[in-house]
Chain A
Amino acid sequence: MSEETSALPAYIPPKARSLFEPHRLFLMAVFLVIVFCAICFMRWDWLPRYGGRLAYGVWQTLLMLFCTAGIGFLLAVPIGLVQVTGPWPLAWLARIFCTIIRGTPLLLQLWLLYYGLGSLFSQYPEIRSSFLWPYLRQAWPYGFTALMISFAAYEGEVMRGAFAGVPRGELEAARAFGMSRFTMFRRIWLPRAVHRALPTLAGETVLQLKSTPLVATITVIDVYAVISRVRQDTFLTYEPLLLLALIYLCLTGILVAGFRLLENRIPARGA
């Protein structure tokens, strides 16, 4: 029998690697060369002219993201809660709402609200003469509503799991202390559920950031719309899109880092 019957190496789990191994330095050098080529050989002369508008677009995107995520989360808490403990008609209603919103594309919901509801509203003179009409005539309320509903549905499903996953013993302990139902919810159930849902919440918020450019298709001005404008003005295909990808990359990085900071602030038993 020869000694070398099997030359296959066993699976070695990857070690924690340092940033400055030789192959990484090589990859970084290649990356720097690519960035350098992109700066030298592509056209970036339009950048100073659109700087202010780009900053405004980023601000609009972030405003849209945080407002819809905040209000969407406030809606998601009752949606998740009634599915765990509510009376069955409400639980069914919440489940049907989640299924419908999660089962159809956001772009379709957006266009349904903007074109569908928008055209319906304009047929009724009562609405046209009401004080709401100046707002309903603009695009952003529709984009805002669609993003908010979508976030509420996805996050409601997450909160349902989080509420159901809080150990019963903790709730029973709260009741044994004589807490009323609402105090128990406020002091124990909600904080524990939010803590459990925080990693998923971070992921959902990144997904929400990646959905915000869709509102540009209904003429809301966000950073994506500004870049589209640049592309129309300068007839450049790649440069504005690459810059846009870079902007979203930075925003995602900041968002993920922020959520990690938040997660680390909550003391957890280390394993």
Chain B
Amino acid sequence: MPSGLELLSLSPPGWGGVLLAGLMASLQLAVGGYLLGLVIGIGGACGKLYGGPILRDLLEVYTTLIRAVPELVLILLLYYAGTDAVNQILLLLGFATVDISGLAAGIFVIGVVQGAYSTEVLRGAIKAVPAGQIEAARAYGMPPLLALRRVILPAMLPYAIPGLSNLWLIATKDTALLAVVGFSELTLVTRQAAGSTKAYMTFYLAAGVLYLLVTLMSNIVIGFIERHARRGMPRTV
């Protein structure tokens, strides 16, 4: 029976390399899902603030539903429904069905869930921008997308960053739920390593340390971004 540290070594008798590969998969999922969620969030926030009545109501239903149902259930539903839907559409269009990679399906699931939360965060942040600034952009004759890119997004960033950084931390932890549908990210890999070596404590603690490192490093980076976005703003206590 090898000791704890030997089990964590990077070369094959140890499982360290496998754990790190799992961590990379988790990070890919988190980054991809977070970015997709951000895109959905920007669209959703603009739709909720400036869209027509039907779009507004539909977006309200989307954010309410997603935020009221457990992520685990959503992941199961979207993971199967999403891959099924793509294959049905492909069949309808006369193409052969494809095997959708777990990574793409996982990013889709995390993105849809994150999109609902970031819609709310960004909507609040856009509303916090003084209305005069957005009106000034319109007075200069900027088309909506240019006004969004040049004025609304940069101006709302300081208000959005606390919420968005929280969402990033939630995204990194939500990736663990994909272990339940059998996607081999850090938590599932840890479970497999622990199960086959019977060194449960060693591996779960090691995975915990890895997750914690990701969180702590994220906090440092978020601090830099926040300082950059808040430059020139009055200091809050």
A residues neighboring B (CB under 8 Å): 5-6, 8, 10-11, 14, 17, 21, 23-24, 26-27, 99-100, 102-109, 111-112, 115-120, 206, 209-214, 217, 224, 237-238, 241-242, 244-245, 248-249, 252-253
Contact = CB atoms under 8 A, between A and B. Distances in A.
Contacts of B173: 104-106
B49 A249 contact: no
A213 B200 contact: no
Contact of A6 (B69, B76, B138, B204): B138
B201 A213 contact: no
- Which of B72, B74, B81, B215 has most chain A Cβ within 10 Å? B72
Nearest to A117: B201
A11 B177 contact: no
Given A119-B198, A242-B77, A249-B68, A112 B216 contact: no
B2 interface: no
A10 B138 contact: yes
A252 B70 CA distance: 10
A108 B208 contact: yes
Contact of A108 (B72, B81, B187): B187
A242 to B, nearest CB: 7
Contacts, number: 131
A116 B144 contact: no
Interface string B69-103: 11111101100110010000000000000000000
Interface residues of B, number: 51
A116 B72 contact: no
A8 B144 contact: yes
The binding surface of chain B is classed by DSSP as helix
Given A11-B49, A111-B191, A217 B198 contact: no
A59 to B, nearest CB: 17
Contact of B57 (A23, A217, A224): A23
17 contacts: A10-B138, A11-B134, A11-B135, A103-B216, A105-B175, A107-B179, A112-B205, A116-B200, A117-B201, A237-B80, A238-B77, A238-B81, A244-B73, A245-B65, A245-B73, A245-B74, A249-B65
A118 B73 CA distance: 27
B69 A245 contact: yes
Nearest to B186: A108
Contacts of A224: 70, 72-73
B103 to A, nearest CB: 18
B109 interface: no
A81 B50 CA distance: 43
Nearest to A119: B200
B54 interface: yes
B180 interface: yes
Nearest to A105: B176
B70 A248 contact: yes
B10 interface: no
- Which of A100, A116, A117, A248 has most chain B Cβ within 10 Å? A116
B119 to A, nearest CB: 15
Contacts of A27: 54, 57-58
Contacts of A120: 200-201
